[in-house]
């Protein structure tokens, strides 16, 4: 008995191969079609790896590459405040790693990203955009070199604390700001709050790195209080 040419052995094998390819393609979709939240989380993980594990001299180049990824993500999700927040944070970290007057345009770009995040929804990520923007205002030089402004910094940092009263970063940066203002007693209060901020199980490396910074700040504050 002859096999019908349409359903012959060769055609069956070809059909099975096509079906297998289709199944593999469907299963692979979640890997490539990540949500904005998943992609922000990937940026957070890469940022922590660079900030706390990459040698200091190599960080500027590593952050520059990460800026490109953040820029692509913000272009894809122009109305997502979390994306703009992390784009701003990454740019600010790049500026810090680069240093010098050449970092000022990068800082200004970070400022613009964080302002964009706040305009969309400053409450996201426990007010991280307010906290990050506030940290720029007290660390960047003032006029005529930069846009630094201590009073503006305090307003923004306190706004960040409104949304993230127990947040580790919000308390750390306010503690660091108070230390710069020589308000050592208050600085220690907020540094201690930062130390005991709730842990984010999805970001253990970032927590470990920030805890190290908090402890070093506490040592400096106690030295001033002694």
Output the DSSP codes for 98-155. H-SGGGHHHHHHHHHHHHHHHHHHTTHHHHHHHHHHHHHHHHS--TTTS---HHHHHH
What residues does each domain of the chain span? 35-164, 165-226
On the question of pLDDT at 202 being above 60, the answer is yes
Q: Which CATH number fits domain 35-164: 3.30.70.580, 1.25.40.920, 3.50.50.60, 3.40.50.150?
A: 1.25.40.920
Per-residue pLDDT reduced to its tens digit, 146-160: 999 999 999 999 999
User: Whose CA is closest to 206, among 43, 39, 19?
Assistant: 43
Q: Whole-model pTM?
A: 0.84
Per-residue pLDDT reduced to its tens digit, 10-64: 433 334 344 333 333 333 333 345 899 999 999 999 999 999 999 999 999 999 9
């Amino acid at each position: 008995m002859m096999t019908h040419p349409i359903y012959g052995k060769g055609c069956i094998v070809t059909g099975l191969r096509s079906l297998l390819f289709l199944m593999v393609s469907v299963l692979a979709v979640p890997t490539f079609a990540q949500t904005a939240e998943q992609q922000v989380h990937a940026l957070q993980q890469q940022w922590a790896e660079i900030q706390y594990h990459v040698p200091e001299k190599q960080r500027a180049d590593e952050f520059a590459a990460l800026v490109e990824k953040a820029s692509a993500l913000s272009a894809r999700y122009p109305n997502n405040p979390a994306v703009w927040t992390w784009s701003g944070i990454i740019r600010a970290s790049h500026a810090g790693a680069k240093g010098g007057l050449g970092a000022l345009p990068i800082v200004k770009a970070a400022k613009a990203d964080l302002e964009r995040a706040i305009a969309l929804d400053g409450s996201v990520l426990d007010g991280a955009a307010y906290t990050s923007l506030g940290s720029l205002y007290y660390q960047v030089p003032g006029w005529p070199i930069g846009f630094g402004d201590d009073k503006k910094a305090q307003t923004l940092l306190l706004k960040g604390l409104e949304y993230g009263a127990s947040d580790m970063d919000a308390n750390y940066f306010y503690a660091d700001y108070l230390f710069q203002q020589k308000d050592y007693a208050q600085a220690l209060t907020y540094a201690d709050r930062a130390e005991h901020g709730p842990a984010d199980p999805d970001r253990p490396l970032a927590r470990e790195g920030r805890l190290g910074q908090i402890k070093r700040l506490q040592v400096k504050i106690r030295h001033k209080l002694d």
